[in-house]
Amino acid sequence: MARPNLRLVPAALGLSTALVFSSCALGPDYRRPEVAQPAAFKGIRSPESAVPQVGRTWWTLFNDSELTALMEKTVAANLDIQAAMARVEQAHALVTVSGGALFPSVDAGATARRARSSSSSGSLSTIDGGTGTTHVTPAGRITNVFSLPLSLSYEIDLWGRLRRQLEASQNSAWASEDDLEFVRQTALASVAQGVFNIRYYDTQQDVLERTIELYRKQIELTQSKVRAGLALQTDLLQARTQLDAATAQMIDVRRAREKQEHAIAVLLGQAPEAFSMPRRPLTLSVPALPVGAPATLLRQRPDVARAERNLAAANAQIGVAEAAFLPTFSLTGSAGYQSTQLDGLTSWSNRVWSIGPSVSLPLFRGGELRGTLQQRRAAYQELVATYRSAVLGAYRDVEDQLTDLHLLADKADVLNATLVSARENARLTEIQYRQGIVPYLQVITANQTLLNDELASAQALNQRLTASVLLIKAIGGGWTDPRG
């Protein structure tokens, strides 16, 4: 029997490697779908040359140390962020798995067998699973077989199936990174809105406490008038009804504040009973924010980037499905030692080896391959629509928040003017009462109007602060897609 030429082994590996890198991968190469882009956002009112840029720590624009501390705790301890980080690690591990398929697989092992052939059936032939060699046991004899095999298998990626799978895994990993950023921004925006809400509830409590005090004075005044016959009992009942309504409203505000504290605690990764915020009214200022051109938004929104990476992964999966129709070429080999005696197993005379190519061609799968390809193409079209929807949704988010910021600013101007008038009215009414020109009930009425205007102004401020946070999130929160 002719002795095989071992020099063919590196030649075969070199040829297979050249085939892999010179061949083209099946399936379409990814291209970003076209999406109509407006020239500018219609909600922008003035040039932004002097507006500070939004960075990754955008919350510092509000100049509030308590808010900054809570945001930093959110980044460090939020459980949704930690879960998203773990998903990123999983996705990158799958990239390693997919990349490993491009390289040869080498395994080592050891086997020991004892066999007896039938005396009437002649010699017994057995094939070593590790080395692929055949061992013949003479009829009626018991034989030991010891092996130390080293096996190699390598799929030649002639059609790019493995490379497309690696491409899909890599894009999925990038999508998980984008999702991590989206989760981070969502958590931070929720904490900021929660802080503003709690400050607004504190302002409400201040206003309601002063309102309740006014209603109590009104009840005392009405009781005096009823005893003097100058007012009816229904006037007293109405005053008490107003007091009870304000007290009930105070309870609702406290309940909402405590629930908001619970929500922030969970966002910080804490139990609700372990977190509380000191009482403090809402006095923050609304920062000026840049928006930029709509075209830049595609590189600043992590949810848009995530949608595109998922689309690119689906595009690569089409190539994987197309390659499944074609033959699979593999190179397998084994080497090692085999002997019927354990002593001297590794001697040079007991060496065995084999090497050779193999090919597998799918002939009939009952429509499985065609159905898989159709499913991958349909999945790609679904994600095209999802990507375009994400882009349009991003444009809408920016326009919505620009509308809110501008119109709420107009509303705040009106309310502030009203508040100035209400304060002046309350001051003049107090002077008129001291001069005996108007009754005290009119003083109470003027102060009630003032408190209601203060509450409306605080509510508008809370709405503007919330809109500014949502606009920051809508323009990407200072994030830029590192892949362009």
Q: Within a domain: residue 484?
A: no
- In terms of domains, do 295 and 232 share one? yes
- In terms of domains, do 164 and 149 share one? no
3-state secondary structure the chain: CCCCCCCHHHHHHHHHHHHHHHCCCCCCCCCCCCCCCCCCCCCCCCCCCCCCCCCCCHHHHHCCHHHHHHHHHHHHHCHHHHHHHHHHHHHHHHHHHHHHCCCCEEEECCEEEEEECCCCCCCEEEECCCCCCEEEECCCCEEEEEEEEEEEEEEECCCCHHHHHHHHHHHHHHHHHHHHHHHHHHHHHHHHHHHHHHHHHHHHHHHHHHHHHHHHHHHHHHHHHHHCCCCCHHHHHHHHHHHHHHHHHHHHHHHHHHHHHHHHHHHCCCCHHHCCCCCCCCCCCCCCCCCCCHHHHCCCCHHHHHHHHHHHHHHHHHHHHHHCCCCEEEEEEEEEEEECCCCCCCCHHHEEEEEEEEEECCCCCCCHHHHHHHHHHHHHHHHHHHHHHHHHHHHHHHHHHHHHHHHHHHHHHHHHHHHHHHHHHHHHHHHHHHCCCCCHHHHHHHHHHHHHHHHHHHHHHHHHHHHHHHHHHHCCCCCCCCCC
- In terms of domains, do 195 and 276 share one? yes
- In terms of domains, do 248 and 397 share one? yes
- In terms of domains, do 254 and 314 share one? yes
Residue 127: what pLDDT? 52
Q: Within a domain: residue 483?
A: no
- In terms of domains, do 352 and 416 share one? no
Q: Within a domain: residue 482?
A: no
Per-residue pLDDT of the chain in tens (484 residues, 90 and over written 9):
334 343 444 444 444 444 444 457 899 999 999 998 888 888 887 655 445 578 999 999 999 999 999 999 999 999 999 999 999 999 999 999 999 999 999 999 898 888 776 665 555 455 554 445 555 555 567 888 888 899 999 999 999 999 999 999 999 999 999 999 999 999 999 999 999 999 999 999 999 999 999 899 989 988 988 898 887 888 889 889 999 999 999 999 999 999 999 999 999 999 999 999 999 999 999 998 887 778 788 889 999 999 999 999 999 999 999 999 999 999 999 999 988 888 888 888 888 998 999 999 999 999 999 999 999 999 999 999 999 999 999 999 999 999 999 999 999 999 999 999 999 999 999 899 888 898 888 988 999 999 999 999 999 999 999 999 999 999 999 999 888 7
- In terms of domains, do 17 and 81 share one? no
- In terms of domains, do 351 and 381 share one? no
Give the CATH number, domain containing residue 258.
Answer: 1.20.1600.10
Instruction: For residue 433, give its domain range.
Output: 31-102+159-326+368-474
Q: Within a domain: residue 15?
A: yes
Residue type at 267 in one-letter notation: L
Q: Within a domain: residue 170?
A: yes
Residue type at 155 in one-letter notation: E
- In terms of domains, do 135 and 109 share one? yes
Residue type at 204 in one-letter notation: Q
- In terms of domains, do 188 and 220 share one? yes
> End of a domain among 360, 379, 405?
360
Residue 462 structure tokens: 């809370």
Distances (CA, A) of 19 to 11, 157, 183, 184, 235: 12, 8, 43, 44, 97
Q: CB-based contacts of 262: which residues, under 8 Å, 6+ apart? A: 272, 275
Residue 377: what pLDDT? 97
> End of a domain among 310, 342, 360?
360
- In terms of domains, do 219 and 256 share one? yes
Give the number of domains in the chain: 2
Q: Within a domain: residue 221?
A: yes
- In terms of domains, do 172 and 151 share one? no
Q: Within a domain: residue 136?
A: yes
Residue type at 129 in one-letter notation: G
Q: Within a domain: residue 69?
A: yes
Q: What is the pTM (predicted TM-score) of this model?
A: 0.85
What whole-number distance in Å separates Cα of residue 317 and Cα of residue 373? Answer: 9
Q: How many CA atoms lie within 13 A of 334 on its CB side?
A: 20
Give the CATH number, domain containing residue 145.
Answer: 2.20.200.10
